A and B are shown apart, each in its own frame.
Chain A
Amino acid sequence: MSRAKSWLPGLLLVSPSIVLIAVFVYGLIGQNIWVSLNTSVNPVTDKVVNPGGYQNYTQLLGSADYQHALWNLLVLTVVFMVGTMFFGLLWAVLLEKGVNGEGVFRSVYLYPMAVSFIAAGVVWRWLLSPATGDGAVGLNQLLNKMGLPQLENSWWSADSKFSMAAMAIPAVWQLSGYVMALFLAGFRGISEDQREAARIDGASEWQIYRHVLFPQLSPIALSALIILGHMSMKMFDLIYSIAGPNSYKASVPATLMWTQMFAQNDRVAAAVNATILLAIVAVVVVPYLIYTNKTETERD
């Protein structure tokens, strides 16, 4: 049997998917970039809206709306990632030695992951209602009842100083359990012998975590950071659901793209925005994919 003949059927079996991915992922990305380089003119005033070519990019990058959205995205991403990693790791540490009713705790921490961002957004819009004092509902009223009225605040809405940080709360709520599950699997993958050995050497519990367990979890932490980071950059549903379709206060590039496309009727700017978003995600993900690919090949 010739070599070519032996692998050809494999290629044929994958070919439908190769065609679909080539057309729908890479073809459409190419087309989107093409749209983003177009010139466009306002049909009513005849004024040039997008000069075309790379100038479309400098125009969007320089616009105040876009910079505002980028800043929001940065705040959202930092708070979301720090919060999710913190609670995820904390819950995993609390659970990893085994507690009675562990299954129940695990399920409780993880259930938000099964709910859609849209559904979660509806509840959190109510929980994060900005009214304070007598008119307060949601978390503000709860804080009030718990005797902590000084913690009441207007969350993400117009006059809030840390709106995007508040917007990250529901996202932390949804994904901390996921990070917990990842770390928990990591802890359980480390054999008990290693702890025993460290204990015999006189290491304290903290030292065991610090020098024996945590270092072995760093590949998991890296993967979690990549996954959370790229989710945050794409986050659309949650913000759309909580703040409404065209909120300026809570706008990030992903929601601004919707505004550009439908409220401002500017497809070219929307395409520019989407292309930059892709580039940002690619900067994070591509090195990771190449690195993973390399370690995979070495392992084979």
Chain B
Amino acid sequence: MATTDIAPAPSGAGTAPTSQVLRHTGRPPGQSGSGVARAIRYTLLLIFGLFVLLPAYVLIVTSLKRSGDVTADTAWSLPTAITGAGWAHAWSQLAPPLLRSLILGIGAATLSSILGSMNGFVFARWRFPMATTVFTLFLFGMFIPYQAVMIPLQGMLLSVEGQVPWFQGIVKLIIVHTIFGIPICTLIFRNYYATAVPKEMLEAARIDGAGMLKTYRSIILPLSMPAFVVTLIWQFTSAWNDFLFALFLTTRQNGPVTYALNELAGGQNPDYPSIMAGVLLASLPTLLVYILLGRYFIGGLMSGSVK
């Protein structure tokens, strides 16, 4: 049953990925309703589906055209001659930032998931006085507009950069995304542990004399994989897709792919094939994650998408 958690997390969301959350349990598909109603339903689904796919069509088709072939009157047509020139140019511009974004995504996702797991365990099963209040204060951190911390944050990180030269670009972003990812990761792990780890199990461990760290290591961590998958995917995607922090805290030389893509697309004489190929390149990793691990991705959405 859906709860009124921060996001309407169906209980144990994150654990039970969508294949279960969304699975249909009624009559066999396509059997319900009269013939006319079904025809209308499929027609509507198809029309909406085509509309949602429009941008994808434009991207793929344009990215394969030759620069000279992108004219107003053939904007929606298929390419007359297919070329990889747009892709090649986009790749030459975006390869280094793509690598930086990869490091950023993996680094920030790993760190905030580890912190989130420890916090989630404590908030769900090893509570301290005022834990609920502290948890709520954490959650507020996930809703704040980052503009409200940006000015002092920028100044603070710049002054550290002045002392420690390597503290720049992606390193800064890893730190920032780790910290601002703590609330959502804590929420996901807390909800997961609250349903997936029975209180009796911990009680038994306590009676056996296991301390907190031992309980966490030997009972909690081995059960945590499903929640880790959700937070890792979620954090990777939001760090990869972020632009605001990148814009304020990095430069063209050391920024992630969103920064570079915006530069590529912002020129005076837009070269549409390479711009569109650039959009696809910059979106492929998150799309792949979504296609391959979609059910977990949706699990993350369910437990509170707020970025």
Q: Judging by beta carbons under 8 Å apart, are B48 and A91 in contact?
A: yes
8 Å CB interface, B200-240 against A: 211-213, 216, 237, 240
Measured between beta carbons, the chain B residues less than 8 angstroms from A219 are 2-4, 8
CB contacts under 8 Å to A, within B1-18, are 1-8, 10, 13, 18
Contact with B along A89-125 (1 / 0, CB 8 A): 0110011111110100111111111111111101111
Quick one: which of A21, A98, A115 contacts B137, CB cutoff 8 A? A21
Contact of A189 among B2, B54, B76, B261 (CB under 8 A): B2
> Is A215 part of the contact surface with B, judged by Cβ < 8 Å?
no
On whether the beta carbons of A234 and B136 are closer than 8 Å, the reply is no
Closest to B115 in A: A17
* Contact call B25/A267, Cβ cutoff below 8 A: no
In the assembled complex, B129 has its CB within 8 A of some CB on chain A: yes
B132 touches A296 (CB 8 A): yes
* Number of inter-chain CB pairs below 8 Å: 318
Q: How far is the CB of B260 from chain A (nearest CB, A)?
A: 10
Partner of B21, one of A20, A95, A188: A188
B49 at the interface (CB under 8 A from A): yes
Q: Indicate the size class of the contact surface on chain B.
A: 35 or more
Q: Is the CB of B6 within 8 A of A188?
A: no
Q: Taking the complex as formed, is B81 at the interface, i.e. its CB lies under 8 A from any CB of chain A?
A: no
Is there a chain A Cβ closer than 8 Å to B52's Cβ?
Answer: yes
> Is the Cβ of A114 less than 8 Å from the Cβ of B186?
no
In the complex, are the beta carbons of A267 and B72 less than 8 A apart? no
Within 8 Å by CB of A178, from B5, B134, B136, B305, lies: B305
Contact A145 B76 (CB under 8 A): yes
Asked if A58 is an interface residue, CB under 8 A from chain B, the answer is: no
Whether a CB of chain A sits under 8 angstroms from the CB of B275 is yes
Q: CA of A134 to CA of B305 in the docked complex: distance in angstroms?
A: 42
CB pair B53 A108 closer than 8 Å: yes
B306 is contacted by which of A13, A122, A141, A230 (Cβ under 8 Å)?
A: A230
Q: Which of B8, B265, B266, B279 contacts A224 (CB 8 A)?
A: B8
**A14 and B21 form a contact (CB under 8 A):** no
B197 within 8 A of A: no
A122 and B261 contact, Cβ closer than 8 Å, known pairs A24-B153, A297-B132: yes
CB neighbours (8 Å) of A275 from chain B are 148
Asked whether A119 and B26 contact (CB < 8 A) given A21-B183, A186-B2, A274-B151, the answer is: no
- Any B CB within 8 A of the CB of A31: yes
Are A271 and B272 in contact (CB-based, < 8 A)?
no
List CB contacts (< 8 Å) of B31-47 with chain A. 32-33, 38, 41-42, 44-45
State in angstroms the CA–CA spacing of A9 and B126 once bound together: 9
Shortest Cβ distance from residue B105 to the other chain A in the assembled complex, whole angstroms: 12
Contacts A112-B52, A178-B301; A14 near B134 (Cβ below 8 A): yes
Chain B residues whose CB sits within 8 angstroms of the CB of A270 once the complex forms: 151
B30 to chain A, nearest CB (A): 4
Q: A11-B128, A117-B241, A289-B140 are in contact. Are A186 and B145 (CB under 8 A)?
A: no
Which B residues touch A35, using CB under 8 A?
151-152
- On whether the beta carbons of B152 and A32 are closer than 8 Å, the reply is yes
B262 within 8 A of A: yes
**Given known contacts A24-B179, A94-B41, is B129 in contact with A102 (CB within 8 Å)?**
no
Known: A110-B298, A111-B52, A119-B282. 17 other contacts (CB 8 A): A10-B131, A13-B119, A13-B121, A21-B182, A28-B149, A28-B153, A29-B149, A31-B152, A111-B290, A113-B301, A118-B241, A118-B261, A119-B279, A195-B26, A219-B8, A267-B151, A271-B151
Give the interface of B toward A (CB within 8 A): 1-8, 10, 13, 18, 21-30, 32-33, 38, 41-42, 44-45, 48-49, 52-56, 58-59, 72-73, 75-76, 115, 118-119, 121-123, 126-129, 131-132, 134-141, 143-153, 156, 176, 179-180, 182-183, 186, 211-213, 216, 237, 240-244, 247, 258, 261-262, 265-266, 272, 275-276, 278-279, 282-283, 286-287, 289-291, 294, 297-298, 301-302, 304-307
Could you show 5 A-B contacts with beta carbons less than 8 Å apart?
A: A10-B212, A17-B119, A97-B33, A189-B1, A296-B5
